[in-house]
Amino acid sequence: MSEKKFEHVEVEKNEEGNYAVISINRPDKLNALTTQTLREIYEAMEQFELDSSVRCIVVRGTKNVTKKAAFSAGADLASPMGKGMKPNIPVHWTISMQQKHRYYSLIEQFPKPVIAAVDGYAFGGGCELTLVCDIIIATKRSFFGFPEIARGIFPGNGGTQRMARRIGVNRALNMCYFGERVSAEKMLEWGHVSYLCDDGEEFEKLVHEKASWLGNGPTTSLLIIKKAVKFGTQASIEIGNQFEMLGFGVNSGSSDVNEGIQAFLKRRETKFTGGM
């Protein structure tokens, strides 16, 4: 269904067409990420930016597991650096990381809700990818971690920054220093995972349920909630509240507001259209 052709990801809409699923499709490498993979994830999402029928994105590992279940085992350690870049020139690494950071930030700022559906390993850059999604649904057999230290490096795709802000400095330091794997259950307790479930049918059902809810939701409200909660909270409460008030005003321009109120008054089901 995707208009663009991708090598590292697969894209499909659900039956109702109100959410899109982007599957990282490199099962032989446990869905390891190259800059191309990250670019494709973002470009696959970008196709739905102005498509008012698609109101939620799910990012996941492919269902066609060939080795072990994985969301992503992180940066592709076998992949050469970008064109013209040399590993012995420090600034080339900085530029390479900057290119990747760009995609992580674009994914983080995507104007519609993004769910990370995690079944299996979410390590390194894969763990960092979950940090730029809005909701994380993980199976009980999943593990999160930053194994980079064992390779003489560290999480450089926002991991030191976003993880510390998410679960606290102490826990993030433990993950980075010791490369400890943290169970999905623990990550739920620490506030990183949003929902925990069994793998298989229960996982698929829960992902569908949450994505459908958001896919049937009022697009503008969801966009403003995302910006206010994720970015408004990075400023003082006063500035965040001003941001919220302005957002509330902007939201009133959406036809979904009228629909939501009329549906309540007429005691009928709400049918949001994603009116922007």
Q: In angstroms, what CA-CA distances link 266 with 221, 222, 230?
A: 21, 24, 34
DSSP per-residue codes, 225-258: HHHHHHTGGGS-HHHHHHHHHHHHHHHTTSHHHH
Residue 13 or 92: the one with the smaller Cβ distance to ligand COA is 92
In angstroms, give the least distance from the CB of 32 to ligand COA.
4
Site mask for ligand COA (CB under 6 A), range 227-246, x = bound = --------------------
* Residues contacting 61, CB < 8 A, separation 6+: 23, 24, 27, 31, 69, 70, 71, 72, 118, 119, 120
Of 128, 201, 238, 269, the catalytic one is 128
Based on the residue annotation, tell me whether 148 is a catalytic residue of this protein: yes
Does 207 contact ligand COA by CB under 6 A? no
21 within 8 A of 41, measured Cβ to Cβ: no
Q: Give the shortest CB-139-to-ligand COA separation in angstroms.
A: 16
| Minimum distance of ligand COA from residue 221's CB (angstroms) | 37
| Residue closer to ligand COA, measured from CB, 124 or 232 | 124
For residues 34 and 79, the answer to whether their CB atoms sit within 8 Å is: yes
Contact flag: residue 123 with ligand COA (CB under 6 A): yes
By CB under 6 A, what part of segment 50-79 binds ligand COA?
A: 67-68, 73-78
Beta bridge partners of 21: 12, 58
Size of the site for ligand COA (CB under 6 A): 18
| Residue 203 near residue 119 (C-beta atoms within 8 A) | yes
Q: In what order do the strands lie in the sheet with 20-24?
A: 9-13, 20-24, 57-61, 114-118, 135-139, 195-197
Count of C-beta atoms within a 10 Å radius of residue 268 = 9
With CB under 6 A as the contact rule, the residue among 19, 48, 110, 121 that binds ligand COA is 121
Among 20, 22, 24, 30, binds ligand COA (CB under 6 A): 30
Smallest separation, CB 110 to ligand COA (Å) = 24
Per annotation, catalytic residue among 148, 201, 202, 244: 148
Contact set with ligand COA (CB under 6 A): 29-30, 32, 67-68, 73-78, 121, 123-124, 147-148, 151, 153
Catalytic residue numbers, as ranges: 128, 148
